[in-house]
Amino acid sequence: MNTLLLSLAATGFTFALTALGAGVVFFMRRESTGEALQRVFLGFAAGVMIAASVWSLLIPSIEQARERGHIPWLPAAAGVTAGVLFLMLFDRLMPFFRPADAISIRRGLGRTTLLVFAVTLHNIPEGMAVGLAFALTSDSRPGSLAAAAALALGIGIQNFPEGAAIALPLRQSGMSRKRAFACGALSGLVEPVAGTLTVLTAGHISALMPWLLAFAAGAMLYVVVEELIPEAHLGSGHLGTAGVMLGFLIMMILDVALS
């Protein structure tokens, strides 16, 4: 029970950092921002998600597959393909994601759903990783509790820009501050749920982690290519590109420095 409570507290912390990042929308005045800044925010979200896909998901997937004696690239390649195909099918089955015109409110709904869904999928294996780390502390290995706490701290800090990466573009697209904050914050709510379930089923779930990590990476990359980059209009000036690079660099530095 102590392990379960520790895992719940740790994943609650990572969720709180996601919500804190989403909360930046309350300090931004949309009325004073224009199309150029919207491109920066969309590019920032794309950069964060690209870096998170590589360093938070694909590299750990490859490393965990190698540790288990599997072909290192196989779970990563298969998982990414499955993640892309899954969101592609999800997109295809939702007709309201296909607006008749560029200013349709349904366009905003489609982008909102895909963006939140992809980051939520990404947060599931992160919550599972924290839960599994705390589940492993039950064998009393030296340093295991400190390592689990460090993992939770690192993921929590990474979640701050992820929360902002969801909320800011949604606010820029016309969504209210409260709704944009709710979308950003709720994307991290799955981490406590996933962490708790992982602690309770640790003996059965660890073998699936390489595949789940890569699946989430594929889903995030689909949203970046299909939605965020086209909406950022990267060919119209350099602001969108600057946003991509800024988001990518921030997320890469956090992932490497806190890993």
Please check the confidence at residue 176 and state whether its pLDDT lies above 70. Answer: yes
pLDDT at 71: 94
CB-based contact 110:230 (threshold 8 Å)? no
pLDDT at 94: 59
Q: 80-118, pLDDT tens digit by residue?
A: 999 899 888 877 765 544 444 434 444 555 566 777 777
Q: 181-203, pLDDT tens digit by residue?
A: 998 898 899 999 988 988 888 77
Q: What is the dihedral of CA 87, 92, 94, 98, to 10 degrees?
A: 110
* Residue 249: closest CA among 33, 54, 22, 16: 54
Q: Name the one residue in this structure whose structure tokens are 């998982």.
A: 79
Token reading at 192 = 């406590």
Token reading at 50 = 């690209």
Please check the confidence at residue 73 and state whether its pLDDT lies above 60. Answer: yes
pLDDT at 255: 75
Specify the 3-state DSSP secondary structure of 69: coil
* Residue 232: closest CA among 87, 47, 28: 47
Backbone angles phi, psi at 40, to 5 degrees: -65, -45
CB-based contact 234:50 (threshold 8 Å)? no
Confidence of residue 144 (pLDDT cuts 50, 70, 90): low
* CB atoms near residue 107 (< 10 Å): 19
CB-based contact 53:217 (threshold 8 Å)? yes
* Residue 129: closest CA among 158, 165, 87: 158
* Model-wide pTM > 0.75: no
Q: 26-49, pLDDT tens digit by residue?
A: 987 655 455 677 778 778 878 888
| CA–CA separation, 225 and 208 (whole Å) | 26
